[in-house]
Structure formats: structure tokens, C-alpha cells
Structure 1
Amino acid sequence: MSNKAIKTYSIKELEKLSGIKAHTIRIWEKRYQLVIPKRTPTNIRYYTDKDLKKILNISSLLKQNYKISQLSLMSKSELNQALEQFKNGLEWNEKANHYIHELITISLDFDQYKFDQVSTQIIAEKNLECAFTDIFFPLLERIGNLWAREQITVSHEHFLSSNFRKILFSHTKPQTKSFEKKIILFLPQWEEHELSLLLTHALLSNLDVSPIYLGPKVPLENLLESIQQVKPSRLISSVTLSNYNEELDTYLQTLDTLSIPIDLLVSPGYYDQAESIAQKHNVTIHTSKSALLPKINFV
């Protein structure tokens, strides 16, 4: 893949990342020359990182009663100044969208210094759980869509994922005593997307329970050995890959015989099957990353 392919975007990618409809972007081009798309030798329109960043900034400012006619006349420095001025007065849900836009531009530049600054600010402003459920996870979904379409490299997604893992490890409290209630957290042997499970582990580390994190790709026989040794009061897992339905069914059938409560966090790919899974197996299904921890009954 050429560098050019990596660093350019179609109008549909701009729409997906910014939330601004492609039709609206085209109107802005014609009426205000807000962004001027370049064209390939075969006359296909494309946009650059610079165009994307400008659209992201304008998308944030439009929510604060700015008019597009005003914004089209602003320089880059004036746009940045306006962004800083309005940010402190935003409600959290509005600010979350702005932070997503800001982190997209940071990740495109691999700017570690700015990432550390902004992510620390986000967590301090709210808390770890809200930072992930309202900003970091939605951000990964947007970046993942672009990576799947080969509009960015896998390095951008790895940059974010590795930084989020670092954050979660740093917010996981060391165990200073052993609690009676022990909880095993694991991913089945075909699963490796562990950020939501790491978040749950970090949050559990602040409660009066002993969370035992086995991590991704745990073979069933090894999980059973661990359960026999630890004798946990609860199991927590997560599934994202919906093309492993038969494997999941076999996995859960075996765990059903243990009579241990299981909380299973499922990705959107499993939402349609959630009710069926709950009926067939001894599990509590959670279909939202933010819904998992508050609904677990630790009594």
C-alpha cells in the first residue's frame, strides 16, 4: 500500500469520522470553499489529513452556535483558539465528541505527548470508566472502521490500543490483601480483544474482591484447571468475534455444569443472539461496555 493511500480519505470516510453528512460537506465545498478535494489521475475525489482535521474542528464548533459562514472565514489558529474557548463550558456528552475528534487527529500524527496530555485530562475530568465508555471505545470503533477500509495503517490502531492498555494497567490497584470473593476474568481461546475486560479488571481492583486476570485466548481445559484451584464466586468474560458461535456454545455448555455465575459482555455482532445465548446457558448477558460492572451482583 502506498503512503498516499494511507493518508487520504474519501468523503464517506470524512462523514464517518466527523459525523458531518457527505452531502453537507459537498455544499460547504461549493459555497464556502471550506475544503478543496484533490483528484486522482482517474478523477476520483480524495481528502487529506489536513482536510479531515479541519472538518473535525468545524464539527465540534458547529454544536456551539457558530455558523458555517463564520467558520469558513477563520484561519487555522482562529479555529484552534475558538475550540479552546468553548471547551470548558460544554456538557460532558458534547465534550466527549470533541475529545474523540481531538484524539483522532492526535493518533493520525502519532503524537505521544499530546495523547498523554489529553487522555490524562479526560480521566481527571470525569473518571476512568466514563473515559473509556464515552470516549476511548467509540474512538477505537471509528479508527477501526478506517483501518478495515485500508485508509489508515494498523499502526494507528495499535498506537491507540497500546496506550489504552498502558492506562488501564496504571489504574489497576495492586492487591494489598486477599478477599474471600474471588473473580476470574478471561477470554475464550479464540478471543484476543481484551480492552473491555481490562477495564472491568481495573474497576474491580478498587472493590473488596480479588480479581484474577487470565487474559486472552484461554483454552477451556486450562480455564477449568484454574477454576478448580481458585474456586471463584464468579466468572467474567467477553466475546467480540461472532463467527465462533459453535465454539462459544461448546465453551458455555461446559461452564454451565459448574453452577458458577457468569457475566458475559458481548459486542454488537452478538446483540441479535444475546437473548438466545442467555436462554441456552447459565450466563448474564451485557450488551454495553458501560453496563457490565454496575449490574454485577457481588453479594
Structure 2
Amino acid sequence: MSKYSIKDLEQITGIKAHTIRIWEKRYSIIQPERTKTNIRTYSDEDLKKLLNISMLNASGIKISRLAEMDVVDLEANVLKLSRVNKLEDTSIEKLILATLNFDEDLFESTLSRSVIEKGMEETTAQILFPFFHRVGILWQVGSISPAQEHFISNLIRQKLFAAIDSVSGFKKEGAHKIIFYLPEGELHEISILFYTYIAKKNGMQTLYLGQDLPFSELEKVIKDYQPNSIFTSFITPTTVDQLNQYLQNLKSSFAKVDLYITGMQLQQQGVIFPKGMKTITSMKDFKQAILV
């Protein structure tokens, strides 16, 4: 069983720590354990209960009424409101619950509804990227197992591959050529799959080389394919020295190619970005930098 601080709960559920404290004191919604130094700690069950309460409260049910419900009643009401589409703006919370419970049906219904309403592009930018940020917090506190992370990542990968296939027939004349790949040891491909989809949707000529690509293989492909741009991502933990060395190798090996990079490892202190290399942190950045 994982243990969460009140700050962890705030970041994962979206409920302010101040509000959680008020709900504890006034309604006894959850009863945290306390350390010897009187610091609150919360369990997996507390997290799941708060996620359900957050969704029901957002749908208009008063907190005083929710406080009277047990866990079974809360889950039944979430299911009932989900079926009649009365749960608004709670997609991220539902995806977290789907991950924790290995609930493929909840994942499918949540994501499908969002794609119908917003489209794949906005769903990824507004729902999936923030969702993975919260999953990162769960990973840090030990609440997400490798099996759960693989479960949800593979479901999302399937959706993105399907989206890429749906726009594969469109390519502009004289299209910009761009290679997407992940460096050796890097397996987190959700972000570059999304950017591959955006590029292909906008008529660019894309070549997706996938995960864990040795640098020597990248050099061979660059020589044969002659791309205008290269796009890669750094999410798996690495040292600053190793990252800086890799970025320098990219720049020195492919000086005539535009280089675009993304990923949370770029936020480390001491990362040196070679001149002309561009970092991408959002869909807006990507469109402004590449789709010109």
C-alpha cells in the first residue's frame, strides 16, 4: 500500500490541500494516518475515494451529501452518471481510476467520448498529457506498478497508432521530411507518437523509427533518407553529463538538419543546449517551430 502526502493528493486529484483539510474536519470524508511528527499520510483507498468524490462534486452533487455515501455508493453514482454523460471535465480522474483498477472499459469509454467531442489532437493535448503528468506523480510515490503503467501506455499507444493510420494518405507536394525516434534505452513513445500524428495530419512526410534506436542506426537512416528535421524525446532518467554528451553528438553529427527535442529530462539543471537546437514543450511550440 502506498502512502501519500496531502500535497501528493492535491496534485493527483486536482483538489486543493486546503479543501481536503476542510472536508476531513467538517465531514470526516477520509481519516488520514499521522506520523510520529503529526504529518498526515493517506492510503490508496483514500486516493480512490477522493477521485470519485471529485468527479461527483464536479457534476453538482453537494459535498454534504457525498459525505453520507460509503465507497460502494460513490462508485455506483460515478458509474450511473458516466452512463448518462453527466460527468463533465473529469476525464483525467477517470483515466487514473482506469489505470489503478486495470479497467479497460472505463478507459475506452472515457477516451472515446473525448475524441468524439474534441478530436484526437485536443484530447491528447488537454487530457492525455496532463494525465501522464499525474501518472508521473503516482510513479514517484510508488502507487503505479510497472504492470499498470504498461497497461495504460499500451492502450494509449494503440489509439495514437490508429490516429496516425487515419491520416496516412495525406501528404503535401514537396513535403517537409521529418524523422521521429527515441534514443537507445528510451521506451516512452507517447509524446513522439502524438507529434508524429500532428506532423502527418498537416501533410508532412514522416518516418517513425520507434524506441531504443542505436545512434549508429540513426546515422545510416539520416544518410539515406536526407530529412529536413529530426525529433526525439528524453524521459527515462539519465545523468546530466550523459544527456549533454548525447545532445552534442546529435548536433555535431547532423549539423545541417533541424533538431527538435522534448521530454522531462531536459528540465534538469546543467543541461546544455547546442546552438540552434530547439526544445518543444507543447503542441503550440511544435506547430510554431515546424509547421511553417
TM-score (normalised: structure 1) = 0.78
Question: Do 1:264 and 1:285's aligned partners in 2 also have CA atoms closer than 8 Å?
Answer: yes
| Aligned residue among 142, 159, 167 for 1:150 | 142
Q: Does 1:53 align with 2:48?
A: yes
CA distance in 2, matches of 1:166, 1:154: 18
Moved more, 146-155 or 100-109: 146-155
CA distance in 2, matches of 1:135, 1:81: 20
| Aligned residue among 102, 108, 119 for 2:111 | 119
Aligned length: 283
Moved more, 188-197 or 154-163: 188-197
1:86/1:189 CA distance change after superposition, 3 Å: same
CA distance in 1, matches of 2:20, 2:103: 27
1:233 equivalent in structure 2: 228
Moved more, 162-171 or 28-37: 28-37
1:218/1:265 CA distance change after superposition, 3 Å: same
1:141 equivalent in structure 2: 133
1:183 equivalent in structure 2: 178
1:262 partner SS: strand
Question: Do 1:57 and 1:83's aligned partners in 2 also have CA atoms closer than 8 Å?
Answer: no
2:218 equivalent in structure 1: 223
1:212 partner SS: strand
CA drift at 1:154: 1.8
CA drift at 1:271: 7.3
Q: Does 1:100 align with 2:92?
A: yes
Any gaps of 5 or more consecutive residues in structure 1? none
CA drift at 1:144: 2.3
More strand by share: 1
CA drift at 1:162: 0.9
1:187/1:292 CA distance change after superposition, 3 Å: farther
Letter in 2 for 1:248: Y
Moved more, 20-29 or 111-120: 20-29
2:181 partner SS: strand
1:57-103 CA-to-partner distances (Å, cap 9, x unmatched) read 3334545665433432355268538955996595xxxx1xx111111
Letter in 2 for 1:56: L
Equivalent pairs: percent with the same residue?
Answer: 32
CA distance in 2, matches of 1:153, 1:81: 25
Letter in 1 for 2:229: R
Letter in 1 for 2:137: N
CA distance in 2, matches of 1:123, 1:221: 38
CA drift at 1:184: 1.1
1:187/1:78 CA distance change after superposition, 3 Å: closer
Question: Do 2:233 and 2:262's aligned partners in 1 also have CA atoms closer than 8 Å?
Answer: yes
CA drift at 1:217: 2.6
1:112/1:224 CA distance change after superposition, 3 Å: same
CA distance in 2, matches of 1:16, 1:298: 33
CA distance in 2, matches of 1:80, 1:63: 11
1:251 equivalent in structure 2: 249
2:212 partner SS: strand
Letter in 2 for 1:230: Y
CA distance in 2, matches of 1:134, 1:14: 20
| Aligned residue among 109, 114, 128 for 2:101 | 109
Question: Do 1:220 and 1:251's aligned partners in 2 also have CA atoms closer than 8 Å?
Answer: no
1:28 partner SS: helix
1:89/1:60 CA distance change after superposition, 3 Å: closer
Letter in 1 for 2:96: I
Any gaps of 5 or more consecutive residues in structure 2? none
2:245 partner SS: helix
2:182 partner SS: strand
TM-score (normalised: structure 2) = 0.80
1:73 equivalent in structure 2: 68
Q: Does 1:167 align with 2:165?
A: no
